[in-house]
Structure 1
């Protein structure tokens, strides 16, 4: 294989350093440690593997997940294994313990994939697990979430750095375009495969990708940059919400005095209080999730009216909100 351009490797090292700095909450890092690379065999993840191997010789391990959903999956994993052997990168093939089935197959496959990769990364004791999400992925995710009326946390889209259990998950290619990653792999002469699901119109992402391609006025790199700015704003607000929670939450029987805070902070703290009380009181019905709509409850509390939601009754007092378990509904 042909060596990668020195400029591309230097760019990757800079992006990786920024990811580590963000993940560890510091201004900068001089050295990055041992990394694990998730490689599916597609051009994006193969580019990530080539860049990591060139930038961090001897400090890279790789893994491929065969979901057992396509007959070609095992062959693709074997192709990645052979490529890793040529690069001198240890490689692991990961397979789900149970077949992936049911509705929302892509979501279930993604959940299984991350569970396997996080477990593998912990066993390998890598300093970070790298995935090949890039600017086009970021732009598509942002548009999908805008179409679902997502809040700020959702519009932050794919995070450049986040913790998954004890593992630091980094996406160092979020400023790279899909086309340039593919060109990098082709110029190197490395093998790769195109996943047929990427062009399957049954998937939301595929339709958004086609719509984005049909509108050249929309710049995926600019959309990805906007998602990055939104992620920075989300981090600031999340820290503010965490501080307010530690200052004001004293349990459901003590007033939660946050009525004067901006609505976004009230929204987050109210949702957190509901989760905390339901867990403490073992309330499972009605269902409540992070995506549940609490705007009517916020409206009622803002108007200084008590209201019932998610099995709880919230009372408005001068000193703050008081939470009670809602009485059972009467049968007619």
Structure 2
């Protein structure tokens, strides 16, 4: 049993603000992705307080480490005490060639959470990522030379697999969550893989965040503000891409593309590839594709540029995207 204190859960106010914007009239159950870590524990408690009797906990068991069974036991114990329905989602997070284990685990995790939320009629799935996670994501994007989508970091609300996901804690630092839980005497787990500095994100957490805190105390809200600015700018870029696609057609005709500036061509093509095929071209791939579009002045000119797992091709007077198992290129949004 957690110790009783008068300190309010710091998640409560930010959860209320998030709901006011993104979930103002929810009448269905609300799911929490509950790992038993500090962030999701604080979020589960705040959600249970806000929606008593309407919260469900979804616990993803990757089976990737020996401690996973212990995480499940801690999660199950709290849910039993609260009377919160608890569902364990066991996923096989094997990664494909060229895919990192972290990316594979994330893909499988979101798919499993979405299936469970739909099966249980949840209005959304709340995630426990906080201000430190947002700062790490932005620093990771900078280290990779990311464009605006990467610099926008994590969105407070998004849709995947037909399910709404929310991140209400992006303005809260990790220390605020942990300190509150410790004051309450509330048990939570520390994932040992989070200290493995073979992973870039963990090196950022262990080395860069403390250095930034020493140089720029209270830097997290500033990085979060930069991420919001990037997200706003990306929204405008997407609006422009949709306007240009209306002129070029979708998939875009090559001649209409050539009438645009190189920068607008790149913006349109990134938007089209992301929307129609769910892929993103690297900077080198995009430069090569733009060069090929510019050089395409004869009927017999051929385009075949590797992008992600497939190819951008010329199909008549248009561009198309073909995956390796496609019978032909995609000529309409997938």
TM category, shorter: 0.7 to 0.9
How far apart are the structure 2 equivalents of 1:122 and 1:6? 32
CA change 1:47–1:249 in 2 (3 A) is: same
1:174 corresponds to which residue? 170
TM-score by length of 1: 0.79
CA change 1:149–1:95 in 2 (3 A) is: same
2:289 to 282, 297, 303: 297
Deviations 1:88-121 (A, max 9, x none): 211111112x463677222222222222111111
Matched, 1:269 2:268: yes
Matched position secondary structure for 2:125: strand
CA change 1:241–1:45 in 2 (3 A) is: same
CA apart distance, 1:9: 5.5
CA change 1:3–1:95 in 2 (3 A) is: farther
CA apart distance, 1:33: 4.9
How far apart are the structure 2 equivalents of 1:268 and 1:108? 28
2:124 corresponds to which residue? 128
How far apart are the structure 1 equivalents of 2:114 and 2:275? 27
- Range moving further from structure 2, 8-17 or 302-311: 302-311
2:94 to 82, 90, 100: 100
2:208 corresponds to which residue? 211
2:110 corresponds to which residue? 114
1:242 corresponds to which residue? 242
Unaligned runs of 5+ in 1: 22-28, 280-287, 316-320, 326-332
- Range moving further from structure 2, 205-214 or 298-307: 298-307
2:29 to 11, 34, 38: 34
CA change 1:3–1:240 in 2 (3 A) is: farther
Matched position secondary structure for 1:65: strand
1:11 to 3, 10, 13: 13
Across the two proteins, how many residue pairs are aligned to each other?
302
TM-score by length of 2: 0.79
Q: Does the CA-based 8 Å contact 1:15-1:173 persist in structure 2?
A: no
Q: Does the CA-based 8 Å contact 1:248-1:257 persist in structure 2?
A: yes
How far apart are the structure 2 equivalents of 1:274 and 1:9? 37
How far apart are the structure 1 equivalents of 2:293 and 2:51? 54
CA apart distance, 1:145: 0.6
How far apart are the structure 1 equivalents of 2:313 and 2:160? 33
Matched, 1:90 2:88: no
Unaligned runs of 5+ in 2: 306-310, 321-334
Q: Does the CA-based 8 Å contact 1:19-1:170 persist in structure 2?
A: no
Deviations 1:218-237 (A, max 9, x none): 41231122112211222232
1:138 corresponds to which residue? 134
How far apart are the structure 1 equivalents of 2:238 and 2:10? 34
How far apart are the structure 2 equivalents of 1:159 and 1:148? 19
CA change 1:299–1:108 in 2 (3 A) is: same
Q: Does the CA-based 8 Å contact 2:125-2:165 persist in structure 1?
A: yes
2:155 corresponds to which residue? 159
1:20 corresponds to which residue? 22
CA apart distance, 1:259: 3.3
Q: Does the CA-based 8 Å contact 1:153-1:234 persist in structure 2?
A: yes
